[in-house]
Amino acid sequence: MRSMTITIEGRAGGGAPDAGRIVARELNLDFVDRLLLADIAKRVGSTVGALADSERRVPTVGSRMAQAVQRMLHRSAVAGMGGDPYFGPGIETLLARPYRDLEGAPATTAEEIDEQHFIATTAEVIKDLAETGNCVILSRGGAAILKGNPGVLRVGVFARMDDRVRRIMARERLNNPAAREFITHSDAAQQRYFEKAFKTNPLDPFLYHFVVNTSDVSVEYAAQVIIDAARIMADRGLKFAEPVNPVDGSVARIE
């Protein structure tokens, strides 16, 4: 099967992380969430001495993302003599930042610069991961960032509030009111991030090739739908292209 990249975006409690892990496991792809990105950046560090050696080896599933981060750090080190536009000390903290940290508008110029840095860095990371390929990218606005890339399958995974609350209660060990508050803040922050970074919102249906509702189907079923679509795309050498067919609403596909 050919190299592929899949982005999965969803609201808190919608089941996107679980679906993404199943997809990655079944298709033997790297599963990329914010915590894994931060861990890789922390382990790779800001040094680039091992880059040449690592690129001589055949990439494995466990090393591709580290190499992608190394390449980004290498570019930054070269460009950094005149100022590092993307990376620097504490990148692992930047990449680990949840949407909830962006709920409120910046109150100072320094906070505004920090937010812009986060948006630019995230976009740079996502684009490099897509170029590397063979990964499932969870959240981070990947669908918006890679919308113009015809080789990327973009999926939304959403659910009704009651089901989201139930999942958050189990995952975060919260009671019902606390889980609802968690979701409210998460949704507001995600909404603001999409508006600030992409001039859209995470529920925009045109960001995705299709959306799966995990209130009406299981997370496992949702994952299987994504797997089947990705396999058809890869096995037939097809790409999902823009724009959508105006006649029947289907996504145009090109060989």
The pLDDT, as a whole number, for residue 168 is 94
Please identify every stretch of the chain with a pLDDT value under 50, giving residue numbers as ranges: 46-62, 75-89, 242-255
Edge to edge, what strands does the sheet with 210-213 contain?
Answer: 30-32, 135-138, 5-10, 152-158, 210-213
Helix 176-198 / helix 161-172 crossing angle, nearest 10 deg:
110
Host domain of residue 177: 5-254
SS3 244: strand
The pLDDT, as a whole number, for residue 82 is 37
pTM of the predicted model as reported, rounded to 2 decimal places: 0.73
For residues 44 and 247, give the distance between their C-alpha atoms in angstroms, rounded to a whole number: 49
Return the CATH number at 56. 3.40.50.300
Closest CA to 33 of 68, 65, 71: 65
The pLDDT, as a whole number, for residue 7 is 96
For residues 59 and 220, give the distance between their C-alpha atoms in angstroms, rounded to a whole number: 29
- Outline where the chain has alpha helix (H): 16-27, 34-44, 51-56, 64-79, 91-96, 109-132, 142-145, 161-172, 176-198, 219-235
Closest CA to 18 of 144, 237, 128, 164: 164
SS3 181: helix
Total domains in the fold of the chain: 1
The pLDDT, as a whole number, for residue 203 is 93
